[in-house]
Chain A
Amino acid sequence: MMANHDNVKKKSPIIHTLSEWFPAILLFLGTIVLWQILVTVLKVPRYVLPSPLNILEIIIKRGIDLVIQVGWTMLEAIMGFALGAGVAFIAASIFVHVRLIERSMLPWAIVLETVPIVAIAPLLTIWLGFGLAPKVVIAAIVCFFPVLVNTTRGLRSVAPQALELMHLLSASRWQVYFRVRLPSATPFIFSALKVASSLSVIGAIVAEFTGADRGIGYVVVSASYRLDTALLFAGITFSSLAGVVFYQIISGLERLILYWPGARLPE
């Protein structure tokens, strides 16, 4: 019994992670194989549903181009993310100090949030042209709201006694903000940034749909016009990869910055 217990403990973390992911990977591979078999046996036309091998072929053939296109999309997403999250962070910091500004602006932020992004995208394309700008702005808009709400909540998450303590020490507003509010808010901010990172990629792609000559959204749209379904699937694969990569980068940053035990909020 004891020996058995020790064995379990000695398992390396890599093996542990692998065994944790094993069922998911198995399901994925099984689905791919079943898909391949069904498409071949039922002779599904390629423009309706390409087989996994068709998609792989396209990815290999056009790999470099796809990477460049997804790179453009990532650039738009990251710039939009930085802009949206940055403005949201500053707004939240102001909200916490001046209630009047919060009361006058928050309702409009909520209205902005409820407008479907697909409806704003064409307008921004008219205003800002076919370049980088409308994509960045749309990515920024989708990032703005979750970061605003969570940062405000985080900055307010400080225990009233902690504020009383600061008051007893005659701490200035700056000291309270930087030494208490901001560190308390970081777990909330990161949980919002993770959501925003995936959203920013979606925002950039949606913007590309309405008018672009590059980016993975452009690849997807033009493939759909030509009924090149295999390329469409390759585009979809690369866009979700972009979202996952961005999310993982932010997750890594989070692990780095939230160093203290018990810091990270549950997913």
Chain B
Amino acid sequence: MMNVDATNNNIVLSNVGMIFPGEQQVEALRDVSFTIRDKEFVSLVGPSGCGKSTLLRLVSGLIAPTTGEISVRSKTPAQAQADVDFGFVFQEPVLFPWLTALENVILPIQILGKRSPVKDQEVIAYARQLLADVELSGFEKHYPEQLSGGMKQRVAIARALIYHPPILLMDEPFGALDEFTRDRLNLLLLHVWEKIRATIIFVTHSITEALFLSDRVVMLSSRPGRVMSIVDVPFERPRTFDVRFTQEFTELTAELRHMLQLREVADDGQP
């Protein structure tokens, strides 16, 4: 276990376990320990039901772990949440249909009120700039109903970034999109990330997506979720799509896929 000092901006999970109570107890996570460094892009990959989303909710303090400890920037998740350290992007865009794209992006600032890190005069300009960053200039006054799925998700990303959260949690944000849109948004997310340099925890099913985006990939096994392996991604940044066609990328993808499948087979073989 690593020491936590006051200047530490890492996210540290120590022996985290999560059991959802109820008639049929579900053990979602068991003995999960790893550290996410400040400004690092980490993906969580694993089969359905391996507790990836649960991990995000634990880190952000939406739920509390059954066992173990989580430290976020040397604080408890609840304290970090109170300090508005988290931006969250869900699989569904969760935009409010009665607000325009611009108004949706600004909403968090209005909720935060005095706690907002962005000054009132600067909010609209900054929101417009964020929409431009996600390539939505000219769509400020469109309502969610008038936007495509990919566009809505880009608005959701801009909204998550408006209050400068040091940590961005993304729960399969592109999982519901078609492959072309997903590829485009992957590239766009990298561009945005180079600019904002927040810590990103990115949950996905896709090994390709995880390898293309991340500094490190955390491989989780299926229920209960355990850390199978943590893989360093060697590709240089800034990355382009070309990296996905290199032999190194293909080999790494195959290796990770193999690891997941082996694990699945081993699990199936259990009595």
0 or 1 for each of B78-95: is its CB under 8 Å from A? (1 = yes)? 000110101010101010
CA A184 – CA B163 in complex, angstroms?
24
* B184, chain A: closest CB distance, angstroms: 23
Number of A-B contacts (CB under 8 A): 58
Knowing A159-B92, A161-B90, the reply to whether A166 touches B143 (Cβ < 8 A) is no
Q: Which residue of B lies closest to A258 (CB)?
A: B98
The answer to whether A261 touches B84, judged by C-beta atoms less than 8 angstroms apart, is: no
Does B146 contact A169, Cβ atoms closer than 8 Å?
no
Partner of B145 from the list A167, A186, A262 (CB cut-off 8 Å) is: A262
The residue that A168 contacts in the complex, of B60, B110, B115, B143, with Cβ under 8 A, is: B60
CB <8 Å contact, A167 and B62: yes
Shortest C-beta distance, A163 to chain B (Å), equals: 10
User: A161-B92, A261-B146 are known contacts. Are A179 and B97 too (CB-CB below 8 A)?
Assistant: no
Task: Write out the residue numbers on chain B whose beta carbons fall within 8 Å of the beta carbon of A170.
Answer: 81-82, 84, 112, 115
Residues of B within 8 A of A159 (CB): 92, 94
- Interface residues of A, count at CB 8 A: 22
A254 to B88, CA, bound (A): 33
Cα distance A180–B94 in the bound complex, in angstroms: 11
- Bound form: Cα–Cα A166–B145 in Å: 21
Q: Which residues of chain A come closer than 8 Å to B115, judged between CB atoms?
A: 170
Closest A residue to B160 by beta carbon equals: A165
- Nearest chain A CB to B29's CB is how many angstroms away? 19
B residues less than 8 Å from A164 (CB atoms): 57, 62, 88, 90
Task: List residues of chain A with CB within 8 A of the CB of B81.
Answer: 167-168, 170
Shortest CB distance A156–B (Å): 16
Q: Please tell me if B125 contacts chain A, counting CB pairs below 8 Å.
A: no
Residue contact B143 to A180, C-beta cutoff 8 Å: no
Taken together as a complex, chains A and B put the C-alpha atoms of A261 and B99 apart, in Å, by: 10
**Residues 169-206 of chain A: 1 if any B CB is under 8 Å from the residue's CB, otherwise 0?**
11100010001100110100000000000000000000
Contact residues in B for A166 (Cβ distance below 8 Å): 111
A179 touches B92 (CB 8 A): no
User: With A166-B111, A167-B62, A168-B81 as given contacts, are A161 and B94 in contact (CB-CB < 8 Å)?
Assistant: yes
Compute how far the CA of A15 lies from the CA of B143 in the bound complex, rounded to whole angstroms.
Answer: 30
Task: Say yes or no: is A127 at the interface (Cβ < 8 Å to chain B).
Answer: no
- Report whether A162 and B98 are in contact in the complex, using a CB–CB cutoff of 8 Å: no
Complex formed: what's the CA distance from A159 to B94 in Å? 7
State A203–B50 Cα separation when bound (angstroms): 57
Complex contact B96–A162 (CB within 8 A): yes
Q: What is the distance, in angstroms, from B116's C-beta to the closest C-beta of chain A?
A: 10
In the complex, the answer to whether B88 meets A180 with C-beta atoms within 8 Å is no
Chain A residue contacts of B145, Cβ below 8 A: 260-262
Q: Does B107 contact A (CB under 8 A)?
A: yes
Is A58's beta carbon under 8 Å from chain B? no
Measured between alpha carbons, how far is A263 from B237 in the docked complex, in Å?
44
Contacts of A184 in B (CB 8 A): 96
A-B contact pairs, 8 of them (CB 8 A): A165-B88, A165-B94, A168-B86, A169-B112, A169-B163, A179-B110, A179-B111, A183-B96
10 other contacts beyond A161-B90, A162-B96, with CB at 8 A cut-off? A161-B94, A164-B88, A167-B62, A168-B62, A170-B81, A180-B96, A184-B96, A260-B97, A260-B145, A263-B97
Residues of A within 8 A of B (CB): 159, 161-162, 164-171, 175, 179-180, 183-184, 186, 259-263
